[in-house]
A and B are shown apart, each in its own frame.
Chain A
Amino acid sequence: MDENNQMSDKNKKDWVKPTITPLRSGLLNKFGKSQNVGWVEDIDGIPITGLIEKYKSPLFVVSEKRLRSNFQRINRAFTSRYPHVLFGWSYKTNYLGAVCNVLHQEGAWAEVVSEFEYHKARSLGVPGHCILFNGPFKNRTILEQAVKEDAHIHVDHLDELFALEEIAQAANKKVDITIRLNFDTGYTEPWSRFGFNVESGQAMDVAWRIHSSENLNLTGLHSHIGTFVLEPKAYSNQVRIMCGFMDEIERRTGSIIKYIDIGGGFASLNALQSIYLPPEQVVPSIEQYAEAVCDTLLELTHEREARGVQRPVLVLETGRAIVDDAEVLISSVFANKRLPDGRRAVVMDAGVNLLFTSFWYNHSATPTRFLSGKPEETVLYGPLCMNIDVMRNSVMLPPLDVGDALVFGSVGAYNNTQWMQFIEYRPNVVMVQKDKIVSVIRKAECLEDVTSLESMPETLKIPFPNGEPDNLLSKHT
């Protein structure tokens, strides 16, 4: 071996990248000095180094155990407080088949919002009558299929209502339908673009119209008040408004509402970039959400039960709070850089193409080994040749070597559905199952996957039909 190519020598000290840290007065951090950076070596007992070796980096890893325990905890939180509870798994949050089927095995129905998601649920073996069909864009073909298969259709607008009536008439059926409502809870920005407005009387008009239909039957109410809602009282208000509307409909039209669907929006333990405090301090526990919902619902349906009318089924479409922390993204350092302003920067092998949610979250980034050296403000860039490709704009990390891996936490929600095949291929997704079995649940893409849907016109099959262009660079002196 070359004398300058240093061999490992036990008598020598370990090398740590040299650092310079400026000392500035007047810029104190109110949270004190940075905490020691911990590290994680395995996921559910599977060493991360082994995972990278076998499945390459970057790599998404789903924990089946965590997914099931998250669902069971949320299920327990609600079913222990209210007698009739049903979960619809929000496909758009994560529609990898293995993830969906874990949750279906736990008892969740499918909550879908498009023709594609409806097809996906059916292809996984979910029967139509276990599908909650939301969304503003349900084409005629998929509506017909949903009616035929007795899916639970949540109507978003009048055009959909009239289309449904025609379909039901043609099928000679009386179809149970649910209407989506929008209203102001006083806590969240009203999502008025979806459904029918309660305050203006629009929703009541629709209820009357359904009541007068020979082919439609109003049996459910649905609303979704927002996303990453940090105030449980918002849900109390939501339930209060929905129950008030339910009572009014039943009293005035004689319809019987079988279920109230409050959508989702519960926050996960992730750090929104716009929020100053850490998620541990601002995100309510699932039990707090459950208490806010169920206490109000019990109170407002008490009299109903006394009348001999069943309390409505409470339907939840919780997505993020179930799946977010059940999945991580392992990504490796490709290069170190020093920016002109003195900050350290790292180029990772995964970027916003894979971790779409890094646009609004500060995902945790945990090393996979003990890192010696002083933590320093670091920018984590992705591999894209795009200025926007930033995984973390500022994170305190000790010096990292090329090849060091970081585990990005709580990435299960909205990444495997919103990721992009952009510039780079999408990597393997594996699930760690019972007895430490690791299964590939979506294999890494290759060129053929990306180009298989393209076709080439005959006249464009050859890039240089008149021979290669002059190589000006080789002639230039």
Chain B
Amino acid sequence: MVDSEQTGVTSSSIPSAESLRRLAISESGFVFDPTSGHHFTVNETGLVLLRHLQQNQDLSSILNAVTQEYNVSHRDLERDVLEFLSLLREFVGEQ
């Protein structure tokens, strides 16, 4: 198992579950943030991560869940998730 300490990602890096749950997300990956007014699209894997993050802020369990579903090494996934989160912070407004 990998825990949050091992990933080095803390919960403060992640937009809050509350702000993420506010997002209007379509099945095709169109996302609208009613707080900031931003709208953007995410690809399939971005959508998977976003759905997980809406429900769960524990990174280690998200990484484990995704590696069960996708062919990706833990190292590569962790790297991609870190990058995804840094972008997500730019687009999702906190209230």
Contact = CB atoms under 8 A, between A and B. Distances in A.
A18 B45 contact: yes
Interface in B1-50: 1-2, 38-46, 48-49
Interface residues of B, number: 34
B46 to A, nearest CB: 4
Contacts of B38: 22
A13 interface: yes
B40 A342 contact: no
Q: Which interface class (under 10, 10 to 19, 20 to 34, 35 or more) fits A?
A: 20 to 34
A12 B68 CA distance: 8
Nearest to B2: A4
Contacts of B81: 18
Contacts of A20: 40-42, 46, 84, 87-88, 91
Contacts of A19: 42-43, 46
Interface string A16-41: 11111111000000000000000000
Contact of B70 (A4, A13, A338): A13
A401 B90 CA distance: 23
Nearest to B31: A20
Interface string B40-62: 11111110110000000000000
B30 to A, nearest CB: 8
A15 interface: yes
A17 B87 contact: no
Interface in A182-231: none
B4 to A, nearest CB: 14
B77 to A, nearest CB: 7
Q: Is the interface of B mostly helix, strand, loop or mixed?
A: helix
Contacts of A8: 71
A375 to B, nearest CB: 11
A18 B63 CA distance: 13
B67 A23 contact: no
Contacts of A21: 40-42
B64 to A, nearest CB: 8
Contacts of A9: 71
Contacts of B95: none
Given A20-B40, A20-B42, A14 B71 contact: yes
A276 B43 CA distance: 30
Given A6-B72, A13-B71, A18 B86 contact: no
11 contacts: A6-B67, A6-B72, A16-B45, A17-B83, A19-B46, A20-B42, A21-B42, A23-B39, A23-B41, A338-B86, A373-B43
Interface of B: 1-2, 38-46, 48-49, 64, 67-74, 76-77, 79-81, 83-84, 86-88, 90-91
Interface of A: 4-6, 8-9, 12-23, 336, 338, 342, 373-374, 401
8 residue pairs, one from A and one from B, having the closest CB atoms? A15-B72, A18-B46, A18-B45, A15-B70, A12-B71, A18-B84, A4-B74, A20-B87
